[in-house]
A and B are shown apart, each in its own frame.
Chain A
Amino acid sequence: MDEIVPGVRVVEHTADEGIEVEGATLATLFRRAAAGTLALFRTGVPGEDPGAHPAEVIEVELRAADLTSLLVQWLREVLFVAGTRELEPGEVEIEQVGDGVLRARLHCRRVGPGAFREVKGVTYHGLEVRRDGGWHARVIFDV
Chain B
Amino acid sequence: MSAKVDSPVAAATSASAEPLETRQLDEWRWLIPRQGAMRVEGLVFADRALMDDIRVGEALRQVANVACLPGIVGRSLAMPDVHWGYGFAIGGVAAFDPALGGVVSPGGVGYDINCGVRLLRSDLAADELRPHLGRLMDELMRDLPAGVGSHSDRFVLPDGELREVLDRGAAWMVEHGYGEPEDLKHIEGGGALPGADPDGVSARAVERGHDQLGTVGSGNHFVEVGCVDRVFDPVAAGVLGLAEGSVTVLVHSGSRGLGYQVCDDFLHLMLPAAERYGIELPDRQLACAPLGSPEADRYLGAMLAAANFAFANRQMMAHRVRAAFARVLGRTWKELGLTLVYDVAHNVAKWEEHEVEGRTRRLCVHRKGATRAFPPGHPEVPAAYREVGQPVLIPGDMGRYSYVLVGTEGAYRETFGSTCHGAGRRMSRHVASRAAAGRNLRDEMRALGVEVRAASHATLAEEVPEAYKDVAEVVEVVDRAGIGRKVARLRPLGVLKG
Contact with A along B432-464 (1 / 0, CB 8 A): 000000000000000000000000000000000
Contact (Cβ within 8 A) A113 B151: yes
Among A83, A121, A140, the residue within 8 A (CB) of B111 is A121
Contact (Cβ within 8 A) A118 B428: no
Question: What residue of chain B has the Cβ atom nearest to residue A13's Cβ?
Answer: B8
Contacts of A52 in B (CB 8 A): none
**A47 interface residue (CB < 8 Å to B):** no
Contact (Cβ within 8 A) B8 A14: yes
Give the Cβ gap from A142 to chain B, nearest Cβ, in Å: 5
**A143 interface residue (CB < 8 Å to B):** yes
Contacts of A21 in B (CB 8 A): none
Give the Cβ gap from B217 to chain A, nearest Cβ, in Å: 7
Contact (Cβ within 8 A) B12 A15: no
Contact (Cβ within 8 A) B268 A73: yes
**A76 interface residue (CB < 8 Å to B):** yes
Among A65, A118, A140, the residue within 8 A (CB) of B149 is A118
Among B204, B219, B267, the residue within 8 A (CB) of A121 is B267
Contacts of A84 in B (CB 8 A): 204, 207-208, 257
Contact (Cβ within 8 A) B425 A15: yes
Contact (Cβ within 8 A) A15 B428: yes
Given contacts A14-B9, A83-B149, contact A121 B208 (CB under 8 A): no
**A51 interface residue (CB < 8 Å to B):** no
Contact (Cβ within 8 A) A124 B285: yes
Report which residue of A15, A120, A127 has the largest number of chain B beta carbons within 10 angstroms of its beta carbon.
A15
**A31 interface residue (CB < 8 Å to B):** no
**B4 interface residue (CB < 8 Å to A):** yes
**A103 interface residue (CB < 8 Å to B):** no
Given contacts A13-B430, A113-B149, contact A76 B86 (CB under 8 A): no
Among B147, B207, B208, B284, the residue within 8 A (CB) of A124 is B284
Given contacts A15-B84, A125-B285, A126-B9, contact A80 B204 (CB under 8 A): yes
Count, chain B residues at interface, CB 8 A: 41
Given contacts A117-B148, A121-B264, contact A15 B111 (CB under 8 A): no
Complex Cα distance A69/B112, Å?
Answer: 22
Given contacts A123-B285, A142-B2, contact A118 B271 (CB under 8 A): no
Given contacts A43-B148, A84-B207, A113-B149, contact A124 B9 (CB under 8 A): no
Complex Cα distance A80/B112, Å?
Answer: 17
Give the Cβ gap from B3 to chain A, nearest Cβ, in Å: 8
Complex Cα distance A116/B4, Å?
Answer: 21
Considering only residues 25-82 of chain A, those with a C-beta below 8 Å from chain B are 43, 65, 69, 72-73, 76, 80
Contact with A along B82-100 (1 / 0, CB 8 A): 0010110000000000000
The interface residues of chain A, by DSSP majority, are classed as loop
**B260 interface residue (CB < 8 Å to A):** yes
Contact (Cβ within 8 A) A124 B267: yes
Among B6, B217, B219, the residue within 8 A (CB) of A15 is B6
Give the Cβ gap from A29 to chain B, nearest Cβ, in Å: 19
Contact (Cβ within 8 A) B10 A126: yes
Among B9, B111, B283, the residue within 8 A (CB) of A11 is B9
Complex Cα distance A85/B272, Å?
Answer: 28
Contact (Cβ within 8 A) B7 A123: no
Contact (Cβ within 8 A) B111 A118: no
Contacts of A113 in B (CB 8 A): 149, 151
Contact (Cβ within 8 A) A14 B217: no
**A16 interface residue (CB < 8 Å to B):** yes
Contact with A along B231-273 (1 / 0, CB 8 A): 0000000000000000000000000010010011001100110
Contacts of A69 in B (CB 8 A): 268, 271
Report which residue of B7, B112, B208, B217 has the largest number of chain A beta carbons within 10 angstroms of its beta carbon.
B7
**A12 interface residue (CB < 8 Å to B):** yes
Contacts of B151 in A (CB 8 A): 113
Contacts of B112 in A (CB 8 A): 120
Contact (Cβ within 8 A) A114 B7: no
Question: What residue of chain B has the Cβ atom nearest to residue A84's Cβ?
Answer: B208
Question: What residue of chain B has the Cβ atom nearest to residue A127's Cβ?
Answer: B284
Contacts of A121 in B (CB 8 A): 111, 260, 263-264, 267
Among B207, B260, B271, B272, the residue within 8 A (CB) of A120 is B260
Contact (Cβ within 8 A) B429 A114: no
Contact with B along A116-143 (1 / 0, CB 8 A): 1110111111110000000000001011
Contact with A along B384-399 (1 / 0, CB 8 A): 0000000000000000
Contact (Cβ within 8 A) A125 B430: no
**A89 interface residue (CB < 8 Å to B):** no
Contact (Cβ within 8 A) A72 B4: no
**A23 interface residue (CB < 8 Å to B):** no
Contacts of B430 in A (CB 8 A): 12-14
Contacts of B8 in A (CB 8 A): 13-14
Complex Cα distance A43/B86, Å?
Answer: 25
Given contacts A13-B430, A142-B86, contact A118 B9 (CB under 8 A): no
Among B6, B10, B148, B272, the residue within 8 A (CB) of A114 is B148
Contact with A along B207-228 (1 / 0, CB 8 A): 1100000000111000000000
Contact (Cβ within 8 A) A114 B2: no
A-B contact pairs, 15 of them (CB 8 A): A11-B9, A14-B430, A15-B5, A15-B84, A15-B429, A16-B429, A18-B9, A114-B147, A118-B148, A120-B111, A121-B267, A124-B267, A124-B285, A125-B13, A127-B284
Which 3 A-B pairs have CB atoms at the shortest separation, nearest pair first? A120-B111, A126-B13, A124-B284
Residues of B within 8 A of A (CB): 2, 4-10, 12-13, 84, 86-87, 111-112, 147-149, 151, 204, 207-208, 217-219, 257, 260, 263-264, 267-268, 271-272, 283-285, 287, 425, 428-430
Q: Apart from A12-B430, A116-B149, list 7 A-B contacts with CB within 8 A.
A: A80-B208, A84-B204, A118-B257, A120-B111, A124-B284, A125-B283, A126-B9
